[in-house]
Amino acid sequence: MQEKEQAERTALNDCKAKGGTECELAKWYSNGCVAMIIGKKKYNMKVASTEQGAIQEGMGFCSATDINCRVYFTSCSQAVRVR
């Protein structure tokens, strides 16, 4: 769990360094990908095993409830081999 705590601290520090005043963690993911989709009224974040999968899930959710949906951010974690 130490890696998770370090990643959370790093993310919050990065947000604050970029001028964020109300930084908070929205999603945790590992060994997968996340996509942040924004619409006219709100945003959503979806996690999937691939970047394209996360985008598809997020766009589907946004399109059902909002307009002008677009991909704002995507990121994938480094895969971890499990035996």
Do 77 and 61 meet the contact criterion of CB atoms below 8 Å apart?
no
Do 58 and 73 meet the contact criterion of CB atoms below 8 Å apart?
no
- The pTM (predicted TM-score) of the whole model is 0.73
- pLDDT (tens digit, 9 = 90+) per residue, 20-71? 888 888 777 888 999 999 999 999 999 999 999 999 999 999 999 999 999 9
Sheet holding 33-38, edge to edge: 43-48, 33-38, 70-76
More confident residue, 19 or 30: 19
Quote the pLDDT of residue 25: 83
Residue 1 has pLDDT above 70, yes or no: no
Q: What percent of the residues of the chain are helix, what percent strand, and what percent coil, each to the nearest 5?
A: 35, 25, 40
Quote the pLDDT of residue 52: 97
Quote the pLDDT of residue 63: 97
